[in-house]
Each structure stands twice: as C-alpha cells, then as structure tokens.
A and B are shown apart, each in its own frame.
Chain A
Amino acid sequence: MDVFGSFALVLAFVCAVYAIVGGIAAIVTRHPLLVKSARHAGMATCCLIFTATFSLEYLFFTDNFSAAYVVSHSNRDLATFYKIAALWSGQEGSLLFWSFLLSIYVFSVLIAYRNKNGELMPYVGVVMAGVQTFFLVLNNFVASPFKMLAIANANGSLTYFTREDGQGLTPLLQYPEMVIHPPNLYSGYTGFTIPFAFALGALLARYPGEKWIHLTRKWTMIAWTFQTLGIMLGAHWAYAVLGWGGYWGWDPVENASLLPWLTGTAFLHSVMMQEKRGMMKVWNVWLVFCTFGLCILGTMLTRSGVVSSVHAFAQSSIGSYFVGFLAITFLVCFAAFLKNRDYLKSENQLDSVVSRESSFLFNNLILLVSCVAVLSGTLFPVFSEWFTGDRISVGAPFFNKVNIPIGLILLFLTGVGPLLAWRKTSTDSLKRNFGWPLLVSLVMGAVLFAFGVREFYSLICFILCIFVTSTIGMEFLRGSKVLHARTGSSFITCAIDLTMRNTRRYGGYIVHMGMVFVFIGLAGVAFNRDIQKEMQIGQSMQIGPYTLVLQSYDTKAEKNYTAQRLIVEVLRDNKPMMMLYPEKRKFATAEQPGTMVAIYSTLKEDLYVVYAGDSGDTQLPVVHAYLNPLVKWIWLGGVVVVFGTLVALLPNRRAVLVLAGSTEAATHPAQAGLPSTVTLREGHD
C-alpha cells in the first residue's frame, strides 16, 4: 500500500502539471477539447491525492510499522479514533492532508462549474492546479509520508525492515478536539485558495463585472467558517489540555491562524462595497491575494521553525520552498495587477463621510492594522536577530497591549457600521438609530462602574458589548415591528421571517452578536484568580465561593496510558456540589505526561482544576485551581458566529407583501396592483 500511495502521489503531480500546461494551452487556443482535458486532469489530480491519503490511513489502521511515518506517529494500542488524527500529527502527513483538503475544494469547484463560466474557469483551473502542484512537490520530493524503514548495507543496497510497534502519538494530541481542530483549521487555510483562484483568474481573464465576487462569496464564507471553527476549537483545546488556565497565548502558530482570519473578515465586509457600489475593486483583489499569502505564510511558520512555538512541527529546511512559492505567487499577482489594473477602476463616488461606505473603510483599516501588528510582532524576533544579532522575544503582554485597544475600536464599529445607511446618513437617522443604544450602554456602564468594575478596558468592553447588543436588538425589533404590523404574526415568528428574507444581512447581525459574546468572555480575563496548594487527603482550599476538598486519589490503567487521578469534592457555601477528577496521564510510548483538566463551567464562571504534579519535597499532589469568569461566553460566541454564518449562506426567502385589509398575497408589486415605483426591499445589505 505504501508503494501504491507513493505512486498515486507521483501520478497526481504529473496530472497537476498537465492541468497547468493544458490549461494555459486551452486559454491560448480556446480549443474546447483542451479545456475539457485540462479540467479532467485537475479532477484526476484530486482523485489521486484522495487515493494517496487513504493509502496512508490504511497503513495506520493496519499497523504497518515498516512505514517510517506510521512508526513515528502511531502504536498498536492507539485508539482507532486517534489513528485518523495521526495522519496530520507530523510534517509529512499534515502536508498530504493539506493537499487532500485542497483537492476536496478543487474537485467541488471543477464539478460545480463544469458547464458554467466557460471564459473564466480555465484560468481558475490553472491557478488551482498551480497551488496543488506546489504542495505535490513537497509531498513527493521534500516531505514524503511514504518513506520506508531501511538500513544501508556496506555495498550500498538497502535492507527494508519492520518494527514491532510504533512510538505512538504525542500525548497532547490524544484529545477528542485534536481530531477535529486541525481539519477545521486546514479547511480554512486551504479554502481561501478558491477565492484566490477566482480573483486572480478574473483579473487575468478581465472577466466582466462583479461575477467573481458572487461566485466566490459562498466559498469564502465556507473557508472563513472553518477558520473560525478551527481557531475556536484550538483555543478550547489549549484551555482544556495545556492546563495553564488560558486559551490564547499569542503563540506564533496561534497568530498564524489569526492572520488570514483577519484579512478574510475584512474581505467579507469590503466585498459588499464592490457588490453594492462598484467600489474598492483593487482593494478586494489584493485582500484576497493577501489572505491566501497569509495562509501559505501561516503554513510555513508552523513547519519551518523560523519562529519557535510549542505547536510547530520539527525544524526543517522546508521553509525555503514556501518562501519561493510566496515570491512566485506575489510576482504573478503583481504582474497580473499591473497588466490589467484598468479593469479594476471603481465606478462610484462617495456621497458622504457619514455612510456605510466609510464605516467599511474604517472596519478594513482596523482589521488590517490588527493583522499587520500581529504579523510584525510575530516576526519581530526574526527581524531583531537580523538587525542586532539578539533574538528578542515578543510574548502575550505585548500583543495584549497592542490588540486590546484595536479590538475595542473594532467592537465599536461592529455596532456603528450596520446602522449607517449606504451613500449618506442623515442626522435624524443617526439620532434614531444610536440614541437609545447609546443611552442604554452608558447607563449600564455607570451601573457596572458603581458595582465595582474599575478595570478600564473591561469596563469599556462591557459598555461596547451592551451598545452593540442594543443596536442589533433594535434592528431586529424595528424590522419585526413592520412585519408584525403587516402580518399580525408573533414577534418571534416575524424575527425569523425577517432573517429568512434577508439572510445575509440578519445572518451578519447574528455573527456580530456572536462576536459580542466572545468579547464578553475576553473581558472576563481581568477578573481571573488562581491558587495553588499541596494537598493531603481531607485538606481543603478556597477559591471564590468554592471550597475544594481532596477526598482521595487513585490510578487507572487504560490501554494506551496510565492516569493518576485526584478526586476533589467541590462545596459551595459548605454544601456539596459535585466531584471533579483532574488527571495526569502517563503514556506508555512517551516520556512527556499529559493533563486532563477538570472544569465546572457556567455562564458566570469556570472552576478550572489542574493536577499540577507531585511536590518534589513532600510527594503530595499539587492542585492548581483557577476561577475564570465568563469563559463560557467565548465558546457560546463561537457557536453563534458559526450559526450566523450558516444563516448568511442560506438563500433569501422570497418576500411576500401582504396588503392591509386584504387576504391576498403577492410576490410582485405589479401583481398586487401597486404602482411600479413600489418595490420590495430585498437585497444584500
């Protein structure tokens, strides 16, 4: 099966190269058979990558310890569940997994548009095949996952051998979320290839109008959703497994996942400017190029060892390939832009500074500043080493100081932007839309201050969260009231109906609401507290309203590890509440132990208990307990963001106008006997 997989990868490489060459020939000659042939080569590439990936998984499932990659990342006792995850736990396998996920996207695009957009698709096919070819070069010639174990003999020949068992999977990865976090994150990274291919293809082909934007919208949103999910799951994994009480440490690899998310978010907003007003065309094209470039950069940072990170793969020379690919990509994009920049001329003017257009510009500015600040902070150790010879590290305190104010400005714009009208917002409209939310948020801010919230950024964050919630609530209320007056249905029904009539607009509001929840959770960090104590059986420790009593400890042997488990009783106001079981796991195949944090989570706070090890002097177990307020709001926010994005992906339900005093419904003004000037306002806001 190893030879089979290896051969499939080589064939995939050949097909991908043909898809490029054949695609270019098809563009030049416009011969329909060549177009078809290049498309089929693209599809064959994908099928062969699928085959190679399933071959590697087969090696894991059959415990084939003659394959070096399987030996390094699996063992016989490893649960089946984790044998799937072992595929992407190392450099070689994760690169194959990259190719695999990219191929799912490419295959879907080639199938979905096989009979559509004939002028554009050959260009898109070539770009997608170009990206695939780069990764297939890595899969075949730089980091092949199908290397076999062999000993070199004196005469130069090789003797292949098989090991009895493997070295097992890194303990930190043996956690259910680790099975779903990387696929989500990688799906985000790879997914941005599609809007990139369409943007570059449209630019090269001078494809008319905003068609490429409409074509790629759903692909961008799918990639963005996966990226969001990946980041959220990664944060939750860090929180539940690493045992340091936090979820985001501004580690270079974490930052690498955030960068394309920030530019992707900027793109999802600015794209509306192009759709509605024909503006920001150059900006949108470059935003997509940058988002794709940052996905590649993020993949490089994780794999090259350029910056040190606990999440990174082993240091390797693979970085130079990525740098080369990034350079070629930039040159191609820049050349295409120079040649066809007249195609990207904006069509409209700005009527007023106080308008939706301006708010989008500032939203993009803030997102981009945040992105560049995170990027420069992440790479600063490398720059400082180049310029001064000293590698100066940049840790969480720097990123927090820089990004908290930026985040708050962004939160403010989240509330303001959607309520500004396109073209121009009148003073009356400003008063109507912002009066109540402003008043409510300021009053609530004063109440919070009176009750003791004195931490500046947290207070501002809570005030802004209330402001944004009020503005969103008012939007739903206002729309529902109109529908309620027309139909007489309940407000809940009207709110759902309203959302389904303009899924993009109201789905967007739901996403914004999710972000508010995330910010509420982040604001809670200022009130974290923790305590650490060596404990004898029967001893207790107090944190906030909770009393933790160590009742006992035991050892349980599982197939792949042995766990030392503390049995901690939690009391609140001296009344027993529950038992918590923080664990320390010792894996048979690894020296590094793993932790399983015990968490009691509510919307108000998380009681987070870690078995931090045994004291060196007394051999007593050390318990580290944290009380982290509002953390659950972050995970809840993530769910709401994803839900909102899914709503925004749904097609709009057709509007039905019900006339007062009439039981008849009409789907078109003309049908309802209305003057032709009356139109139903359905659209993408």
Chain B
Amino acid sequence: MTNRRFSIRLAALAVFAIAQLFPVVLNPADAQQLTDKAKKVGGKFMCMCGCSQVLTECNHVGCTTSAGMLKDLNQRLDRGESEDSITQAFVQEFGTQVYAEPPKSGFSLVAWLMPSFYLLLGTVLVIFVISKWRKRVPVEALADGAASGISPELLARARAQAAKETED
C-alpha cells in the first residue's frame, strides 16, 4: 500500500469517526430540555429514597419518594415559590442531605475550595521539584566525568548530541 493510499484511508476513517458526531450536534436545540424549570430546580436535590441519585434522575421502579418529591416541587413552582424558598423548604423537610451539591456558603464552601487548593498546592510542588531538578548535578555525570577525565565542555557537547539523537 502506498503512502498516499494509506493517508487517504486514514483520513476516510477520521471523517467517518467525526461523521458519527454530526447527527448528535445537528439538532442541539432539540437535544436539550433545560428550559423546564422543574427539571432545573429538581436537579439541585437528591432523591431521598437512598439511591444516591439526583431527584430528576431517580426513576427506579417503584420509587415513591422521588414521585412525591417531584410532585411537591411542581406544586411549589406552580404557586410561584422562588428557588431559594423551595430549597429552604426541602432542607427543612429532609435535612442537608437533600442537597445534590454542597451550598457555596459556610462550612460547605470547603468542599468547593478543596479541589482548587489541591491543584494550586500540586502546581507549586511540581514547579518546586522542576526547579530543584534543574539545579541538580546528576550523580552519574559527576562520577563518569571525574573517573574518565572528560572535560565539562566535551561532556556538554556529548550530552547535547545525545539529546538531539534521542529526540523523537
């Protein structure tokens, strides 16, 4: 198989793979039903049946808890209650376990800050390690250089050549 034919086949394969994505995205407006307020608000609560699922996603057969909660939610929305007052009412009825995600206030803020803190701390650590490694003189280089009497210039040139040769 020639180089060109192989490239054409690869390109065709890529086009086929990408084509699989198009039907998904041709109708994005149709794909979403996020305008439904009940769905949006309900997505902020957990189903309290113990299934560990978000209220609007819990549909396991025979779950009366989610049905009751969704009914209550719809009634409150029909009465024109705000998101905040619905949240308060649900927390009062079911406790803080009803939150699908921790509120961004008080102690719960810690949950939101922790990942960013880890990332920041990790990045600082990696930068520290990189700078430390860059300053370090390699053990084997010291030993080899000293033993063989190779000059630092020659060693640097050899290393540069090796780096060039081993580069992908």
Residues of A participating in the B interface, judged by any CB pair closer than 8 Å: 242-246, 249, 251-252, 278-279, 308-310, 345-351, 353, 357-358, 361-362, 365, 368-369, 372-373, 376-377, 380-381, 383-384, 387-388, 390-398, 401-402, 406, 419, 421-426, 429, 433, 444, 448, 451-455, 462, 466, 469, 473, 477, 480-481, 484, 490-492, 520, 524, 526-530, 532, 544, 584, 592-595, 603-605, 610-613, 624, 629-630, 633, 681, 685
Residues of A within 8 A of B22 (CB): 451
Q: Could you list 5 examples of A-B contacts with CB < 8 Å?
A: A348-B140, A349-B136, A362-B126, A392-B96, A529-B30
Contact A395 B23 (CB under 8 A): no
Which 6 residue pairs are nearest across A and B when measured between Cβ atoms?
Answer: A350-B133, A491-B6, A398-B101, A373-B115, A395-B100, A490-B1
Interface membership of B52, Cβ < 8 A = yes
Contact B166 A421 (CB under 8 A): yes
Residues of A within 8 A of B26 (CB): 451-452
Q: Say how far A425's CB is from chain B's closest CB, in angstroms.
A: 7
Complex: how many Å from CA A243 to CA B62?
12
Of A401, A491, A605, which is in contact with the most chain B CB atoms at under 10 Å from its CB? Answer: A491
Residues of B within 8 A of A246 (CB): 57
Contact B21 A398 (CB under 8 A): no
Contact B59 A610 (CB under 8 A): yes
Number of A-B contacts (CB under 8 A): 236
Within 8 A of A (CB), among B1-58: 1, 3, 5-7, 10, 14, 17-18, 20-28, 30-33, 43-44, 46, 50-54, 57-58
Residues of B within 8 A of A365 (CB): 119, 122-123, 125-126
Contact B130 A361 (CB under 8 A): yes
Is the contact region of chain B dominated by helix, strand, or loop, or is it mixed? helix
Residues of A within 8 A of B53 (CB): 244, 249, 395-396
Contact B50 A444 (CB under 8 A): no
Complex: how many Å from CA A401 to CA B168?
37
Which of A309, A347, A451 sits near B52, CB closer than 8 Å?
A309
Residues of A within 8 A of B17 (CB): 469
Complex: how many Å from CA A361 to CA B159?
23
Contact B108 A392 (CB under 8 A): yes
Contact B100 A387 (CB under 8 A): no
Which of B103, B118, B133 sits near A372, CB closer than 8 Å?
B118
Complex: how many Å from CA A369 to CA B27?
36
Q: A245-B57, A429-B167, A613-B61 are in contact. Are A392 and B21 (CB under 8 A)?
A: no
Q: A249-B53, A604-B20, A610-B59 are in contact. Are A453 and B28 (CB under 8 A)?
A: yes
Q: A484-B3, A527-B24, A630-B21 are in contact. Are A349 and B137 (CB under 8 A)?
A: yes
Contact B137 A401 (CB under 8 A): no
Contact A462 B54 (CB under 8 A): no
Which of A362, A369, A480, A595 sits near B115, CB closer than 8 Å?
A369
Complex: how many Å from CA A603 to CA B58?
26
Contact A369 B122 (CB under 8 A): yes
Q: A384-B108, A491-B6 are in contact. Are A398 and B33 (CB under 8 A)?
A: no
